[in-house]
C-alpha cells in the first residue's frame, strides 16, 4: 500500500530567541495542502512574502542555512526542517515574525515535542518520494568533504566528522531508518569550539547565545581569567569538564556533535523539496556542502523527469511506412531522403527513424577523420518526419509539398556517429490551421536526446 502525504492536525506556536540576531521571534506552524512542502511566511513584513524551502533559494550558509525569496529571508532553518523530515511531515506553512528561526535548546527536540502534541492528518495524495536510482556524488577535495547518495528503499543516513582536534577527534553517527530520528538524533545540540565562540562574540554575533543551547568544545589552554570573563559575560559559572568541553551542559550522547551534524544534514536536505529514498553517506559535511548536495539531487530529479517525458522506441518494431512507402509521400530521393521508416503516426504526432551509416556520401567531405552526422541534416531529417505528419492531413499527399517556414530554439546535445539509429519525434504544439503546422521535434539515440527544435511548416499543392 502506498504511503500517503500528511500534515499536522492543528496549528502550533513556538517562541524563542534567534541565535545570531538575539531578537525574540514567534512562529506558528499551520497545516498545508498536498504537494505544498515547507514554506515560510514573513508575517512581520509588508505583503507577508512567502519563502519556499528550496535549494535554489539558499543565500547564506556561513553559520546556518538561510533562504531568501520575494525580498524576504529566513535563517537558521535547519533544526526545524530536521524535525519536520524526521516526523515524516510533508506539508506545512510556517508563519514567522522575524528573520531567524529561534534556537531554543540548539537541537530539534522542542520542535518535535510540539509537533507530536499537534498530531498528524493523513492526506489523499501519495507521498511524493524521490528515489535515488544511481549514485549522486558531491565532493570538495581541498576540505576532504564528500557526500554520496546511493539507491535504497528507505532513508538511511551515515555521518563522519573529523576536526583534527585532540578533544573532539573523529566521530560517527548513523540511523538505519528515518523513524529512528526522534529517539536517536532529534535532541542532539549544536556545538562550536571555544576559539570560534570568542571570535563570534568579538564580532557581535550569536547575540542569542547563552551557553544553554550549544556544546562548547575547549580546544586550547584556558586561563582562569578567560573562564571568569565567560562566566561574567553569560552570567553563569563555567569550568572545563573532563570531556574537554565547558561544563555549562552535560552531553546527552558521547558522540553528540556527530549526531548533530547528522541532524543538520537531514534538515538541509529538505531543500530538495521532496522526501527522499536512499542511503546518504557524508564525510565532514557542513551547511554549504549540504545545500550544494541538495541542489545536485534536485538537478538529477529534473534530469530524470525530462527522461520520463521522452518515450524510447524499439527500432525493430514493424513500421507504419517503410522507405518505399515514404518515397510515395515525400518528393525527396537519395542522397537527400533522410528518413528510413515511420514507426508511429497519429493526428498529432509522428515518429521517424534514420539509420546513420558510414556509406553515406556526406562522410567523404564532412569531418572524414571524425565522422559526425551534421546537426543541420538532423534538423532536415526532423523536418522530413514532420512533413509526413502534415501531409497525413490530405487524401492525396503525393500532390503536395511541405515548405518549412521557420525553425526556432534548435539545440544539439550529443554527437551522432555512423552506426547510430536516430529516432525523430514531432508533436503538434497547436492544431493545424490552413495547412500550417507548428511542431516540437526531438531526435534521440537510445535514451539520449541528440537534437531538438521547434518547426513551422506549410503544405502547398503542386501545380499540375
Indicate whether 80 belongs to any domain. Answer: yes
Rounded CA separation 270/39 (Å): 11
User: 117 and 178 share a domain?
Assistant: yes
Indicate which residues carry an active-site annotation: 287, 366
Pair (195, 181) in one structural domain: no
Q: 36 with 101, same domain?
A: yes
R_g of the chain computed on alpha carbons: 30
Answer whether residue 156 is part of any domain: yes
Same domain, 237 and 295: no
On whether both 123 and 226 belong to a single domain, the answer is no
Write the pLDDT tens digit of every residue in 332-375: 998 899 999 999 999 999 999 999 999 888 888 878 788 899 99
Specify if 66 maps to a domain: yes
Judgement on whether residues 161 and 108 belong to the same structural domain of the protein: yes
239 and 272 both lie in a single domain: no
Residue 423 lies in a domain: yes
| Cell (9 digits) for 99 | 528573520
Residues 35 and 59 in one domain: yes
Burial grade of 368 (CB within 10 A; 0-12, 13-18, 19 or more): exposed
311 belongs to a structural domain: no
Question: What pLDDT does 266 receive?
Answer: 98
Chain segment 40-86, per-residue pLDDT in tens: 999 999 999 999 999 999 999 988 999 999 999 999 999 999 999 99
215-217 and 191-193 strand pairing: parallel
Query: Quick one: 85 and 230 in the same domain?
Result: no
SS3 372: coil
Q: What's the rounded mean pLDDT across residues 88-92?
A: 98
Tell me how many domains the chain contains.
3
The 10s digit of each residue's pLDDT in 137-153 is 999 999 899 999 999 99
> Per residue in 151-176, pLDDT tens?
999 999 999 998 777 677 789 999 99
Full domain range(s) for residue 277: 4-186+258-304
The pTM of the full predicted model, rounded to 2 decimals, is: 0.69
Q: Mind giving me the DSSP string for 411-456?
A: EE-S---TT-EEEEEEEESS--BTTEEEEEEEEEETTEEEEEEEEE
Amino acid at each position: 500500500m502506498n504511503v500517503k502525504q500528511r500534515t499536522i492536525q492543528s496549528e502550533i506556536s513556538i517562541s524563542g530567541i534567534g541565535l545570531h540576531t538575539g531578537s525574540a521571534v514567534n512562529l506558528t506552524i499551520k497545516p498545508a495542502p498536498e504537494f505544498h512542502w515547507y514554506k515560510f511566511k514573513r508575517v512581520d513584513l509588508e505583503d507577508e512574502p512567502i519563502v519556499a524551502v528550496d535549494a535554489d533559494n539558499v543565500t547564506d550558509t556561513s553559520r546556518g542555512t538561510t533562504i531568501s525569496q520575494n525580498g524576504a529571508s529566513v535563517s537558521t532553518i535547519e533544526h526545524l526542517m530536521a524535525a519536520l523530515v524526521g516526523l515524516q511531515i510533508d506539508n506545512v506553512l510556517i508563519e514567522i515574525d522575524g528573520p531567524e528561526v529561534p534556537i531554543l535548546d540548539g537541537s530539534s527536540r522542542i520542535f518535535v515535542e510540539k509537533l507530536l502534541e499537534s498530531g498528524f492528518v493523513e492526506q489523499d495524495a501519495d507521498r511524493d518520494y524521490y528515489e535515488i536510482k544511481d549514485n549522486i556524488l558531491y565532493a570538495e577535495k581541498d576540505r576532504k568533504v564528500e557526500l554520496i547518495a546511493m539507491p535504497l528503499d528507505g532513508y538511511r543516513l551515515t555521518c563522519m566528522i573529523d576536526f583534527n582536534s585532540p578533544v573532539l577527534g573523529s566521530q560517527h553517527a548513523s540511523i538505519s531508518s528515518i523513524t529512528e530520528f526522534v529517539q536517536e538524533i532529534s535532541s542532539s545540540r549544536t556545538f562550536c569550539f571555544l576559539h570560534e565562540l570568542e571570535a563570534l562574540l568579538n564580532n557581535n554575533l550569536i547575540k542569542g547565545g547563552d551557553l544553554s543551547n550549544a556544546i562548547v568544545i575547549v580546544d586550547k589552554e584556558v586561563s582562569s581569567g578567560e573562564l571568569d570573563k565567560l562566566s561574567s559575560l553569560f552570567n553563569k559559572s563555567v569550568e572545563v569538564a573532563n570531556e574537554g568541553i565547558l561544563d555549562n551542559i552535560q552531553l546527552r550522547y558521547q558522540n553528540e556533535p556527530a549526531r548533530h551534524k547528522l541532524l543538520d544534514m537531514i534538515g538541509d536536505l529538505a531543500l530538495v523539496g521532496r522526501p527522499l529514498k536512499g542511503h546518504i553517506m557524508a564525510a565532514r559535511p557542513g551547511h554549504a556542502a549540504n545545500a550544494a548536495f541538495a541542489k545536485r539531487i534536485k538537478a538529477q530529479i529534473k534530469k530524470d523527469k525530462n527522461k520520463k517525458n521522452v518515450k524510447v522506441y524499439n527500432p525493430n518494431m514493424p513500421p507504419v511506412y517503410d522507405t518505399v512507402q515514404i518515397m510515395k509521400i515525400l518528393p525527396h530521393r537519395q542522397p537527400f531522403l533522410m528518413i528510413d521508416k515511420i514507426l508511429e503516426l497519429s493526428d498529432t504526432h509522428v515518429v521517424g527513424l534514420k539509420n546513420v551509416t558510414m556509406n553515406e556520401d556526406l562522410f567523404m567531405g564532412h569531418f572524414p577523420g571524425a565522422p559526425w552526422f551534421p546537426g543541420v541534416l538532423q534538423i532536415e531529417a526532423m523536418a522530413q518526419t514532420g512533413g509526413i505528419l502534415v501531409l497525413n492531413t490530405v487524401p492525396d499527399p503525393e500532390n503536395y509539398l511541405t515548405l518549412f517556414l521557420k525553425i526556432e530554439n534548435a539545440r544539439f546535445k550529443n554527437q551522432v556517429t555512423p552506426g547510430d539509429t536516430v529516432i525523430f519525434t514531432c508533436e503538434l504544439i497547436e492544431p493545424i490551421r490552413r495547412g500550417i503546422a507548428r511542431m516540437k521535434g526531438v531526435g534521440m539515440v537510445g535514451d539520449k536526446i541528440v537534437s531538438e527544435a521547434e518547426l513551422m511548416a506549410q503544405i502547398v499543392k503542386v501545380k499540375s
